[in-house]
Amino acid sequence: MIVAVCLLMGMTAVAADTDTRDGDAILRGVWLRFPHETVTLTGTLSVRTRRGTVEKMVPFELLMDGAGNPAQAVYTIRDTDGRITERMTVVRRGEEPPVYQFSRGDPPRDEPVPDLNLAVDGSDITWMDLTLSFLWWRGSEVLGKADIKGRPCHWLSVKTPDSLSGQYSRVELWIDHETGMLLQAEAFDAGGDRVRRLWIKSFRKIRDRWMIKDMEIESYPRLRRTRLRIDDLAVQPQPDQPNE
């Protein structure tokens, strides 16, 4: 089931949010809605110019093991022949800081974890964006609420943790009231200038949980845009449950 969510550019700030939860609780609600099953997603990163010309297509695969203890997500980048070029593994134990593991090549060779602000294989999407790491940052502030194309959202701001360096100083997030999913994020540098924006164009529902289907990422100044699109999805069946 694909549910189109028309997000794109429109955003209107309104009065302060009446939700009494703090920002961290709202963000916690986002990642608690991620699938608790083992899910494999395959798709492409499509890099386009401002005029829409496709410059590069990057195949990728995401294995999410929400049933594991600890939970982990494995992001695999491939070349057009299907060979692995890069792989990032993120291991999460509850609300503890994540553990990152990185490798290159096929077969994979372990290497030091790169700066999460680095772009993935010539695209506009960074490892920070691809892993949605900012959803786990602490100390977020509720700025109020906002409407994105008529959809009421929590409007949050969260500062980059001191342990992370790079271009981002803070990230503003818009979380849909109804689904509890991230709809849009904007990253700002130390000078307050917007450096990157991502927004979700559509979702897919797995049992009672929502997954991102299409996501757009744009860097500033506007030179290129990258679309992340999920082309296929498989859910490992749990005992006594049918295949998805």
- pLDDT tens-place string over residues 5-33: 322 223 333 334 445 578 999 998 888 87
Strands 54-65 vs 71-78: parallel, antiparallel or unpaired: antiparallel
Model-level pTM? Answer: 0.80
Pick from 198, 230, 48: nearest CA to 123: 48
Q: Residue 19: its pLDDT value, please? A: 52
Residue 195 and residue 187: Cα distance in Å, rounded?
6
* Residuewise pLDDT in 10s, the chain (244 residues): 223 332 222 333 333 444 557 899 999 888 887 777 888 989 999 998 888 889 899 999 999 987 777 889 999 999 989 999 999 999 988 777 889 999 999 999 999 999 888 888 878 788 988 888 899 899 999 999 999 878 999 999 999 887 777 778 899 999 999 888 899 999 999 999 999 999 988 877 766 666 778 999 998 887 788 999 988 888 876 655 555 4
Q: Residue 25: its pLDDT value, please? A: 92
Residue 60 and residue 232: Cα distance in Å, rounded?
11
Superfamily of domain 2-235: Lipoprotein localisation LolA/LolB/LppX (2.50.20.10)
Q: Residue 14: its pLDDT value, please? A: 37
Residue 82 and residue 9: Cα distance in Å, rounded?
35
Q: Where are the domains of the chain?
A: 2-235
Determine the residue type at 54: V
Q: Residue 239: its pLDDT value, please? A: 57
Q: Residue 49: its pLDDT value, please? A: 84
- How high is the mean pLDDT of the chain? 82
Q: Residue 4: its pLDDT value, please? A: 30
Residue 237 preceded by cis peptide, ω within 30: no
pLDDT digits (tens, 9 = 90+) for 134-173: 998 999 999 999 998 789 999 999 998 877 777 788 999 9
Contact in structure between 146 and 16 (CB atoms under 8 Å): no
